[in-house]
Every structure is written in C-alpha cells, then in structure tokens.
Amino acid sequence: MSLEPRITIVVVDDHPVVRNGLVSLLRTIPGLEVVGEAADGETAVQVVDEHEPDVVLMDVRMPGMDGVEATRRIREQTPGTRVLILTMHDDDATVFTAMKAGAQGYLLKEAEQDEIVRAVHGVVAGEAIFGPGVATRVLGYFAEPPALAMAEVPFPDLTDRERTILDLLAQGKRNAEIATETYLSPKTVSNHLTSVFAKLQVAGRGEAIVRAREGGLGTTT
C-alpha cells in the first residue's frame, strides 16, 4: 500500500509561544510535516532555501526583515514553495503588499485549526486562500474604481516595514524615535531609510517627507 506524499511546512513567527504552538498543532495533523521554523524573515529565507518546503506559514511583523520582504525573496529563490500569511494584521496595505509579494493565501491568527489545515492544502493545490474578513477586503478592492483601490496602498514598491518607517518619518520623528516605536535599532532604521530613499529616488529626508505626505502618509489622526 502506497503512502500519499506529505506536505512539508516551515513555520515563521517571532513569538516563540505562537510558533511552538503552530508547530505542535501541525505535527498532530496526518499528512503534514514541519521541516523547519524561523523567528525572522532573514532566517526564514535561509531555512526555505535549505528545505524547499511545500508551504511556508508566514507572520508579517517581525524584527529585521519582515514577512512581506521574506515572501518576495522566497518566491524569487524557491518558486515551488507556497506562502500562506498567518498574522494579526488585516489592514489593506498589509494585505495587498503581501499578495503582491507573492503570497498565495492570507489568514488571521484567530483562524480555527480546520481553517488553517484547509488553507495549507488549498495553496498546495494552487488555490488563492483568504480568511473571511480578508476576503471581504479583497472583494471590496476589486469592486472599487482602480485609481481609488490603488490609492489604498501608497508606494507599493516599499516593504511593509519600510512604509511604516516612512510614515513615522513623515510625522516628523527622528531615527531614535522611529527605532523605539518599531522595536528596531537606530542603525537598522537608518539602513531601511537608505533603501526607502533609493526606491523613492529622493536625495534625503526632506524630499522623502514631501513625497510621503503627498502619498497620504504622515498623518497622526
């Protein structure tokens, strides 16, 4: 009697309790095999390159490289691996930048066990999977005029982390303040800003702030 091939999975989340819980859960499900885990995006890219899993369960907000940038790199380097976002964040910018980066599915962490397992099987089968709340946002996106829908995701070439840092910069905050709010080191913030300036093709902070505010960032309300 032949055994069906197992679906191999890498779990990525910076919270040990969440990550360990997911790993323990998935290991109880017949047909699923956890082959690796990571606590940040950079490590996730390395682990996926090593194991080439069928699916990555990917958090979004993590220290260092975030889940969106990690998704983009994984899809470039290991195109056979599917990425299923599993996060607490369902704002439009995060949802659409993650999907643009190459994620095949997007669930919130409040999803039930059966929903997560079905989503894993779904993305392996080539389906696009969205949790109920996220599906409503996606449908709303396509129901709007294209110009309005695109306006919801300013500067789409930026990663989620870069957009957050640009938003704080446009609020007039210095690197040290941005570092405190994003739980990053000032050097990491400076590195992100260098990348932001290059992507926006601006000469420095002042020009970046103007561009950011023109794009709707920098509001504190």
* C-alpha distances out from residue 114 to 31, 37, 153, Å: 14, 21, 31
Give the Å distances, CA to CA, from 20 to 24, 26, 36: 6, 10, 11
pLDDT tens string 157-212: 888 889 999 999 999 999 999 999 888 889 999 999 998 998 888 888 988 998 89
pLDDT at residue 41, rounded to an integer: 92
pLDDT of amino acid 136: 65
CA–CA dist 87, 59 (Å, integer)? 5
Q: CA–CA separation, 13 vs 22, rounded Å?
A: 9
Residue ranges of the domains in the chain? 7-142, 160-214
Same CATH fold assignment for domains 7-142 and 160-214: no
Centre a 10 Å sphere on the Cβ of residue 4 and count the other Cβ atoms it contains: 7
What are 49's two structure tokens?
């390159």
The pLDDT tens digits of the residues spanning 17-54 come to: 999 999 999 999 999 999 999 999 999 999 999 999 99
The pLDDT of residue 3 is above 80: no
How buried is residue 95: exposed, middle or buried, by Cβ count under 10 Å (0-12/13-18/19+)?
Answer: buried
How many CA within 13 A on the CB side of residue 113?
9
Q: Of the CATH numbers 1.10.10.10, 3.40.50.11690, 3.40.50.1100, 3.40.50.360, which one belongs to the domain with range 160-214?
A: 1.10.10.10
Instruction: Return the pLDDT at 142.
Output: 58
What mean pLDDT, rounded, does the chain reach?
Answer: 86
Q: Which of 98-107, 142-151, 167-176 has the lowest mean pLDDT?
A: 142-151
Please give the model's pTM, rounded to 2 decimal places: 0.63
- Are 9 and 57 within 8 A, CB to CB? yes
Name the helix (H) or strand (E) containing 84: strand 82-87
Length of the chain (residues): 221
Q: Options 3.30.450.20, 3.40.50.2300, 1.10.3470.10, 3.90.76.10; which CATH number does 7-142 get?
A: 3.40.50.2300
Higher pLDDT residue, 172 or 148? 172
Q: Is the pLDDT score of 2 beyond 80? A: no
Structure tokens, 156? 């789409």
- Phi–psi pair at 89, nearest 5 degrees: -100, 125
In the chain, the percentage of residues whose pLDDT exceeds 90 is 51
Which residue did the predictor score with more confidence, 135 or 32? 32
The residue type at 122: G
d(CA 93, CA 212): 15
- Residue 12 parent element (H or E): strand 7-12
Pairwise CA distance, residues 170 & 57, whole Å: 32
DSSP code, position 5? P
Q: What is the per-residue burial (b if ≥16 Cβ within 10 Å, else e) of 168-200? A: bbbbebebeebbeebebeeebbeebbeebbeeb
